[in-house]
Structure 1
């Protein structure tokens, strides 16, 4: 590829610019697949043409065949938002393999756990994570290790994939995804669905993504799909793949920048995207003169989910962009509740009604059904197969009541069958669409000699959904709090992923552990949420 003459020092990962044609910074003609910079070099993106996704996927599938990776084997990727992610997803799931994307925001220990637990026969890692690569690939054949974005000792360059044919596969076979989701016990859990049959691709998740988009996009829409969130999440990967299956080109933002998002929407005439509420808040925080100077009328569908959204924030987004917001509620395990903008305005706060074939049950603690308007555990019954959490039969059993399953939420149905969510049944915190496990954070904080006990909870946050709060019971109640707080920040910076680190630290004289040693997180959380509301109103 021809490098752009313009230098960008923000991130060495991105050495090139631009979309097809000439670079907007230096004017030099470049190849269509090269990265390009946004206004002022804020955020870098890449546009991947639809035909390229399919041909590169075929090449990757053949590279796996050549490396001896079986047709029902597992393929794990540790990749940022780069085109190779899209190629690997399509290539693995069109050749009968199981595709597992790894959340690179996790701690090093959790990344190692996920890679080991999914038992990959092939591993694709970006050079940014080269320090972990050797240990992660210990059980993977050198022929099935691929390095993206640079050199990793013991890995083949992903560029070698280009030597294989991009023609249609002789015997395409639908694979599946195994994504890792939350649990209050600490370690991420792999969600295993029924083993796919011997049918043709695409896989079930990809089909669902394309079905959702086709149902809510106007028939005459020529699609350009924009990825703004990490592709290792189910939503961004499912909807980008679904859009590509409908013929869309895909533009991938390497990292989120609100004004750059608006610039890309206007310049590329983007028609669809998947977002989380944090994106909405950041966009609304832009000055009015900034928002108003960009033309967003090409947007026909903004799908959002993964975290609760403030009704006020959602209403303002609809007023700005028009009735293009489409919300869904579900999880890797299943579900399928959704609501469009017009319906939401008539039922503000609802996450919608279930798709055909899915039935919602609201049950009390004894498993008995509750009437409309009364909150209880949200359970689903569907026409699909059962799931299981890999290597965790106890957690699998806890998710089911007979054939009904739950995602661990509390909510209620109104008289028209619309679902309203009240709370998470488990202690898991959802911040920016990411599940955070209090037990993991607490175990790190308790290692510090100044900490006698601690409790980690989520405070309501308009931007992030929830923000992580650490309540600390120090050994010495007379000790200065500031040095302890700074020491804990340093410890968490070293030991925890960015989304796990507490945003706030408060100190308490004692924490209400029960006689059996259990810590009632909800009780602690409610106290500090009430205090936050009082302070906000003061």
Structure 2
């Protein structure tokens, strides 16, 4: 299945609807625009495997780029809209992008990007002159290019622990753009998504991230309609489910927390009866948050664990999760291995580094050392997460290896503390990090975003300490609470702990 086929059989059916504005593109219109973009790439000298970069807010033209590239055999490099000019320039240079497509929404950062990449051609949506994307696209024919081949997306890691790295997927074995891809089968048989064109899928996250691009592309292959939120807002998400009769959706735990913090009269205001499947991933979901979501939405909340590297996937539906609280499911793609520091496989119940065994594994672009670091001697690959499996093969995540705090010689995984903090009524978000400490090596610091910043202070700190004390070992109790109006979190749910750790490391150095 492919949008090319849906454009032939159902050209007038909506392919994408923007949730806020209602702007719509049909499968027939998307087909024509994708063909024009493929011609545009060829006209600019793009050959298969050449890269172009995309720095865009959520907008309907994103799908023109996705499907045009997918039939031109090129590498689409999405760039996070949160990045600074030097970070953007780094990705442009590292990916060897031959074109940048952006919009006027990034006028503030583009002068510095242009200065760092003076020879890089740029096309601007809502632009003017020679750089106007719409004008350049309109000059191209709407018929297919003669040499269609399957393109791929080269995602960059979020950079939460250092420089982002390009995740270079292996080229498709079958160059036909309409050839089957694994995620379609996983969506159908794992998540239960229908392939009859009845699916209406809500995408609340930024399109530059792995999950939205991957799942939206899969929904289009299955013939579904995608409703894209221009920007996530908890009440607006509920309103979109009601308005568009959404059947399927994909979330991150941060979305759940924000929706659960809505007043009861808002949460119960909207008709969610059309909603049949709600996927979530990207970060471990606190058990109580997940339980509250299932109580609210019913047993439609399904979780998966995977990564931008696409080395494997686990999945769990609500009934199995309720029987195994905290699990992210059993492997449905790739084979799981839990290994200790020496690479030996560990028995059920013991925490270790999570590896996937798979025939198709990516590499990190221009970084053989990082690729080698992620590999097991037996050829398995890890995303850097720690966890364990139970006797029935259900996987449980503990934390990321890179987030571990060593305080007084004791290993502390901050995810446990964060999961507790966000269940407190007065906490909107929380990040727990290790900060330099002359006695302990590292001390536990909780950076907390209160629901109401006016309540930040000693009284709230004491309330949170009293809340944590019965549930945490003393060594895990934060030595310091730092209240802030927001945290450095990506819209896709990823938390930039590196920024917080760097900040505290710099303060320690100043005070030394």
Q: TM-score, normalised by structure 1?
A: 0.71
Match of residue 391, structure 1, among 344, 366, 370: 366
Shift of 1:289: 2.0
- The alignment status of 1:283 with 2:262, answered yes or no, reads no
Rounded Cα–Cα distance in structure 2 between residues aligned with 1:221 and 1:318:
26
Aligned residue number for residue 195 of structure 1 = 171
Q: TM-score, normalised by structure 2?
A: 0.74
Once the two structures are superposed, residues 194-226 of structure 1 have per-residue CA deviations (whole angstroms, 9 ceiling, x without a partner) of: 23345211588xx34433332312566711222
- The alignment status of 1:177 with 2:146, answered yes or no, reads no
Aligned residue number for residue 418 of structure 1 = 394
Once the two structures are superposed, residues 224-273 of structure 1 have per-residue CA deviations (whole angstroms, 9 ceiling, x without a partner) of: 22210011110011111111111122221111111111111111111112
- The alignment status of 1:351 with 2:328, answered yes or no, reads yes
Shift of 1:418: 0.8
Rounded Cα–Cα distance in structure 2 between residues aligned with 1:165 and 1:340:
45
Once the two structures are superposed, residues 490-514 of structure 1 have per-residue CA deviations (whole angstroms, 9 ceiling, x without a partner) of: 9x99xxx995664998899979xxx
Aligned residue number for residue 23 of structure 1 = none
Gaps (5+ residues) in structure 1?
1-19, 21-30, 38-43, 430-456, 475-481, 483-488, 512-538
SS of the residue aligned with 1:51? helix
Rounded Cα–Cα distance in structure 1 between residues aligned with 2:59 and 2:247:
20
Rounded Cα–Cα distance in structure 2 between residues aligned with 1:61 and 1:141:
22
Aligned residue number for residue 339 of structure 1 = 316
Contact 1:48–1:250 (CA<8 Å) still a contact in 2? no
Aligned residue number for residue 366 of structure 1 = 342
Contact 2:126–2:132 (CA<8 Å) still a contact in 1? no
SS of the residue aligned with 1:83? coil
Corresponding residue pairs, total: 429
- The alignment status of 1:253 with 2:253, answered yes or no, reads no
- The alignment status of 1:119 with 2:83, answered yes or no, reads no
Shift of 1:61: 0.8
Shift of 1:428: 8.3
Aligned residue number for residue 382 of structure 2 = 406
CA spacing shift, 1:116–1:135, aligned 2, 3 Å: farther
- The 5-angstrom pairing of residues 159-170 of structure 1 reads 159-170=135-146
Shift of 1:145: 2.7
Contact 2:337–2:345 (CA<8 Å) still a contact in 1? yes
SS of the residue aligned with 1:352? strand
SS of the residue aligned with 2:61? helix
Rounded Cα–Cα distance in structure 1 between residues aligned with 2:19 and 2:90:
35
CA spacing shift, 1:318–1:292, aligned 2, 3 Å: same
Once the two structures are superposed, residues 366-408 of structure 1 have per-residue CA deviations (whole angstroms, 9 ceiling, x without a partner) of: 1111111111111111122x32111222111110112011111
CA spacing shift, 1:259–1:187, aligned 2, 3 Å: same
- The alignment status of 1:234 with 2:210, answered yes or no, reads yes
CA spacing shift, 1:412–1:472, aligned 2, 3 Å: closer
Rounded Cα–Cα distance in structure 1 between residues aligned with 2:207 and 2:404:
22
CA spacing shift, 1:319–1:46, aligned 2, 3 Å: farther
- The alignment status of 1:148 with 2:148, answered yes or no, reads no
SS of the residue aligned with 1:361? strand
